[in-house]
Amino acid sequence: MTIRKFRPQEAQTIVDLTVDTFHDVSIARQLDNLMGGHCGSTTWKDRKGDEVRSDILANPDGVLVAEEDGEVIGYITCLVDPVSRIGWVHHMGVAKAHQGEGIGRQLMEAGIEYLRREGMECCRIETTENNDVGRQFYPSVGFQEIARQIYYAMKL
């Protein structure tokens, strides 16, 4: 398994990995559930995919992938802010068949190393209360909890 910079032609693969892996942990999907199937004219898959596409457009250099046997099996997107020097691990996902093999941790280490090289002095990440893996994983890397947020929505 190698970790490397993503290639532009892999954008759709990263979007597909996101939709496959975020099913149980996506706020966008919880919103669709609350609204009885889908929210507005789009589905959670459309919106989640767009979020990751935005990361790729905003900072393609900060998108790293894990490749095994020629296949992309995981990714991480890192955003930088040269003014504040606060970086952000914005999305990451590992193919279900490969979860629990240490790939996420290696992607995280590579992402943090990238952010350090870019001069970031602090790194942010967010997870949800129902994401048991994130809540275990991120503190074990060194992240400290700073706040909890509540998301509301209502039908119009």
Ligand X SMILES: CC(C)(COP(=O)(O)OP(=O)(O)OC[C@H]1O[C@@H](n2cnc3c(N)ncnc32)[C@H](O)[C@@H]1OP(=O)(O)O)[C@@H](O)C(=O)NCCC(=O)NCCS
Residues that bind ligand X (CB under 6 A): 21-22, 25, 92-94, 99-105, 127, 131-134, 136-137, 140
Neighbours of 32 (CB within 10 A): 19
Q: Across the chain, where does the E strand assignment appear?
A: 2-5, 63-68, 71-79, 86-94, 122-124
- Our CB check for ligand X shows the closer of 40 and 102 to be 102
Which residue's beta carbon is nearest to the bound ligand X?
Answer: 104
Report the DSSP pairing between strands 71-79 and 63-68: antiparallel
Q: How far is the CB of 104 from ligand X (least distance, A)?
A: 2
What tokens appear for 138 in the block? 């991120």
Neighbours of 14 (CB within 10 A): 23
Q: How many residues does the chain have?
A: 156
Q: How far apart are CA 133 and CA 136, in angstroms?
A: 5
